[in-house]
A and B are shown apart, each in its own frame.
Chain A
Amino acid sequence: MAYFPNIIFGLVLLTAIFLFRRNILFIKRNILIGQALDRSDRPSERWFNMIRIALGQSKMVTRPIAGILHIIVYIGFIIINIELVEIVLDGLLGTHRLFAPLMGEVYNWLIASFEILAALVLVSVVLFWLRRNALKIKRFWKPEMKGWSKNDADYILYFEIVLMTLFLSMNATDQVLQDLGNPHYTKAGLFPVSQLMTPLFSSLSAATLVIMERTFWWLHITGILIFLNYLYYSKHLHILLAFPNTYFQNLNPKGAFKNNETVTKEVKLMMDPNMDPYATPAEDTVPAKFGASDVTDLNWVQLMNAYTCTECGRCTDECPANQTGRLLSPRKIMMDTRDRLEEVGRNINQNGSFQDDGKQLLDDYITKEELWACTSCNACVETCPIGIDPLSIIMDMRQYLVMEQSAAPSDLNNMMSNIENNGAPWPFNNQDRMLWANEN
């Protein structure tokens, strides 16, 4: 029976890892529903981007307050997770503070730094909550931030508050037990923050303290494992996907929109004087679909973008159309893409392969009005702290509207027929192109 807690811990850990692995495989499969796109070029530039933007948080600080608070939580998350290695090993081996005897003084300093970071994270998370719920910063209260999106953002903050409080309470009770000379709790660690909490526990009996310390310990580690599995349902996935997302982000100038190669082939054929217009097309030519009306038409990087988005709303905040009261919100484009992709994923899970559900990304999620409001100014792409490109999705969907449905606004149809007929977007005669040279 002595090994009972170890076995329970092992089972809990294995279950959490199993579920997490399953979630990751779901996400991977869903992302790969997208069209192929080669982003294997320029690996050194890509590594550099990932290190600078994701690891180094370089784009977060363009908004200094949110940026600095985020960096504190981020550093806290990474550093405090070092402690997780010890916690997991302690849980499996039934030891207590396994690394303490091995590391000596270094251990004390490590624990002290974890505690200080935990306190800073607590403060930052409370400030984050106040920014959302007391200051009511505009971008957190846009129409797309209702229901789950609003709750999700708050749940994450509550999770962090609970986890940090448990971590510090665990250390506080541990300290009191150490001071009482409890044999299992050997002197180890330096506790600059949790020592302030010890008066809360000092009057309790050793037996009560052990129960409390164990409870905090178990709640803390299971809380972390639950949080790990909450990621799949949450915008918080960015803590993982920000890395591949910045690695695979577009490296070309932002104004360079990709050329559709199927169209290139057709145009080349049309312009080839030796082409036989009556030739039967080759057997393998499947009529291609132009542009995107559903997530399956988007490429895998665009779908990864959707899973990576943490709904911070900087894109929407910078969007000129949104600033002037139009329906378009680049964040909503990403959220809709993810919601639809999840729906398609569930459909596949239920039916083995995708069965037509009579829905698509266009119209059922993203309206034409949103798509036509975009000025393609790239402000959303420029500002995204983790390299998401909402503009490419908007442009692919416009391509579908125009090339598959001929559904452009009539003004644009006029402009396009002018280009076709006169080589200019206005109804001027191309022969008059040089008139300006003879005017004063």
Chain B
Amino acid sequence: MQVPTLAELTAEGKKPEVLFWVGCAGSFDERAKKITKSFVKILHKAGVSFAVLGTEESCTGDPAKRSGNEFLFQMQAMANIEVMNAYEVMRIVTTCPHCFNTLKNEYPSLGGQYEVMHHTTFINTLLKEERFTISGSEYKGKRITYHDPCYLGRANQVYEAPRELIQKLDAELVEMKNCRSKGLCCGAGGAQMFKEPEKGNKDINIERTEQALETQPQIIAAGCPFCNTMMTDGVKNKEQENQVLVQDIAELISKAEDL
């Protein structure tokens, strides 16, 4: 897979139109890596000149900040900003809403001013600019429900771009009882992904998976690697993994186009 790093392109005297911020999940997590690869295929298909930071990328600091470790967060942020500013990065796209939120909202006051997009917004723009089209009928008539990631939806008001993409797949978009600004968290945010939950009577991802399954979907679409993990676990817990797939929107599109 052709994935240029910013260091390589810079050495060749080239400047990509966008930096793809892969994120830790997208780089290391087995499930999330598939999302990363699907998105790269879409970038190739649309002829987008992009680059990644590769080993120069480091955690944005989001889980440290949400845990309360402001010091570690700012250390991470400033190191990343130093790297990106040295490359004169202007635009960033990322498949992780947590990276998206942190880069977009928390880096500017530390000296990192970039135009930051979530991949669903970016893909939507590529389609509107007719840089590629969706023609496959893989998902025609399939029931797909979309889970709003908190850090994309409520935190940054991105509700429509992912939904528009699902509709462009000719699929039937079915909404859960809690959606958009009332979307229920998957349970992973605020660094919960990395710890055991406090005592309760149910895991949050089970509650959310139940809401999703109520819509009787064939696919639960997500736009966040952590939501993806939580919903996948939830579906397995309900022993529905043979009937219901949990897929990132990038994966749906790359599969529809047979990329």
Contact = CB atoms under 8 A, between A and B. Distances in A.
A411 B197 CA distance: 11
A412 interface: yes
A419 B63 contact: yes
Interface stretch (A101-109, A351-359, A369-377): A369-377
B197 A412 contact: no
A433 B29 CA distance: 10
Given A264-B74, A267-B74, A321-B198, A257 B65 contact: yes
Interface string A328-359: 10000000000000000000000000000000
A71 interface: no
A41 interface: no
B155 interface: yes
B154 A382 contact: yes
A419 B68 contact: no
B195 A412 contact: yes
B245 interface: no
Interface string B29-60: 10001001100100000000000101101110
Nearest to B107: A259
A321 B184 CA distance: 10
A415 B191 contact: yes
Contact of A395 (B27, B66, B105): B66
Contacts of B54: 433-434
Contacts of B155: 253-256, 378
Interface string B101-130: 100111001100000000000000000000
Interface string A253-283: 1111101100110111011000000000000
A313 to B, nearest CB: 16
B3 A321 contact: no
A263 B150 CA distance: 27
Contacts of A381: 154
A277 B37 CA distance: 44
Given A259-B106, A382-B154, A408-B68, A436 B187 contact: no
Contact of A419 (B76, B110, B156, B189): B76
Contacts of A270: 75
Nearest to A372: B198
Given A320-B184, A401-B68, A436 B190 contact: no
The listed residue with most A CB atoms (<10 A of its CB), out of B156, B192, B199, is: B192
Given A326-B199, A327-B198, A382-B154, A376 B70 contact: no
Interface string B52-90: 101101110101111111111011101100100000000
B66 A376 contact: yes
A438 B1 contact: yes
B68 A402 contact: yes
Interface in A59-110: none
A412 B191 contact: yes
Interface residues of B, number: 73
B78 A398 contact: no
A15 interface: no
Nearest to A260: B70
Nearest to B192: A375
A420 to B, nearest CB: 6
Contacts of B40: 437
Nearest to B189: A375
Contacts of A433: 22, 27-28, 54-55, 57
Contacts of A324: 200-204, 206-207
A374 B190 contact: yes
Interface string A379-418: 1011100000000000101111111000011011011100
Interface stretch (A6-14, A130-138, A423-431): A423-431
Nearest to A426: B28
Contacts of A263: 70-71, 74
A416 B72 contact: yes
Nearest to A414: B194
Given A411-B194, A437-B1, A320 B185 contact: yes
B231 to A, nearest CB: 14
A373 B67 contact: no
Contacts of B1: 437-438
B157 interface: yes
Interface in B164-190: 181-182, 184-185, 187-190
B24 interface: yes
Nearest to A383: B182
A409 B199 CA distance: 14
B139 interface: no
A320 B61 CA distance: 24
Given A320-B204, A375-B190, A395 B198 contact: no
B195 to A, nearest CB: 4
B59 to A, nearest CB: 5
Contacts of B190: 374-377
Contacts of A260: 70, 74
Contacts of A383: 182
A419 B59 contact: yes
B105 A256 contact: yes
7 contacts: A271-B79, A373-B198, A379-B154, A402-B67, A403-B71, A423-B58, A428-B27
Interface of A: 252-257, 259-260, 263-264, 266-268, 270-271, 290-291, 318, 320-321, 323-328, 369, 372-379, 381-383, 395, 397-403, 408-409, 411-412, 414-416, 419-420, 423-426, 428, 430-434, 436-439
Given A325-B201, A403-B70, 16 more contacts: A252-B105, A253-B105, A267-B71, A271-B78, A320-B185, A320-B204, A321-B204, A325-B199, A326-B199, A379-B184, A399-B69, A420-B72, A424-B28, A433-B27, A434-B54, A439-B33
Which 4 pairs from chain A and chain B are nearest by CB?
A255-B155, A376-B190, A325-B201, A398-B68
